[in-house]
Amino acid sequence: MNAEHLEEAKRLLTAFPGKSSALIPILHLVEDEFGYIPEQEVEVVADLMGVTTAYVEAVLSFYSLFHRQPTGKYLIQVCRGLSCHLCGADDLARFLHEELGVERGGTSDDGLFTVEEVECLALCKDAPVVQVNLEYRPRVSKDDLQRLIAECRQGVAQHA
């Protein structure tokens, strides 16, 4: 972790009535910094928390937003909840896979994009929905995604 995140992690250790609660927020710091949870950071987190690496692994492996492999600069999550499914989510996912040349859950060769199909994102009224770095894009079409990809490639898309 960088110095700023390490400082924040130390603050989190005493931010809750129970120290154990700090683990998930600290893992978020790691995920934010690296785009995944690298092996060596598991040890750093375990030391901070005063628990074993196995404990940290057990917790982080439960949650879908913690990644064990590097992700792209832009994490595109296509909602496949039933409402989005009924509104064409499969087509959007297929389009992204073909356009970016990635498998499900894969990262593009240029390291820019990771495409995941995820469960319901709780914006069913605006189906089909995707999130880019956890920011909603409601009622998206293939054209929208095409534009989004171009914006990301030009580096103008906003980070969440």
Partner 1 sequence: MPERRLLFEHIDVPGIEGIDVYEREGGYRSLRKAVKEMSPDDVVKEVMTSNLRGRGGAGFPTGRKWSFLPKDGRTRYLVCNGDESEPGTCKDQEIIYRIPHLLLEGVLTSAYAIEAEHAFIYLRGEFKGGYLRLGRAIAEARAKGYLGDNVLGTGRRLEVTLYLGAGAYICGEETALLESLEGRRGMPRLKPPFPATSGLYDLPTVVNNVETLAAVVPIVAMGGAEYAKLGTKESAGTKLFSVSGNVRRPGNYEVELGKVTLGELLNDLAGGPPAGHTFKAAIPGGSSVPFLPPDKFDTPLDYESMRQAGTMLGSGGVIVLDDRASIVDTSLRLMEFYRHESCGKCTPCREGTMWLEQALRRMVTGDGRHGDLKTLEGLMAHIDGQTFCPLGDAAIAALGSALRLFRGEFVSCIAAQDHPLEEVAQ
Give me the residues that bind partner 1 (CB under 8 A), please: 15-18, 20-25, 27-28, 58-60, 62-66, 77, 80-83, 85-87, 118-127, 131, 134-136, 160
Nearer to partner 1, 101 or 138 (CB): 138
> How many angstroms separate the CA atoms of 143 and 6, rounded?
41
Nearer to partner 1, 19 or 97 (CB): 19
Least separation in angstroms between CB 61 and partner 1? 8
Nearer to partner 1, 11 or 153 (CB): 11
Under a CB-based contact definition with an 8 Å cutoff, are residues 36 and 105 in contact?
Answer: no
> How many angstroms separate the CA atoms of 94 and 89, rounded?
9
Least separation in angstroms between CB 33 and partner 1? 15
Nearer to partner 1, 16 or 153 (CB): 16
Q: Which two tokens stand for residue 85?
A: 């499914």
> How many angstroms separate the CA atoms of 42 and 155, rounded?
30
Least separation in angstroms between CB 85 and partner 1? 5
Residues whose CB falls within 8 Å of the CB of residue 102, separated by 6 or more in sequence, listed in order: 96, 108, 113, 114, 115
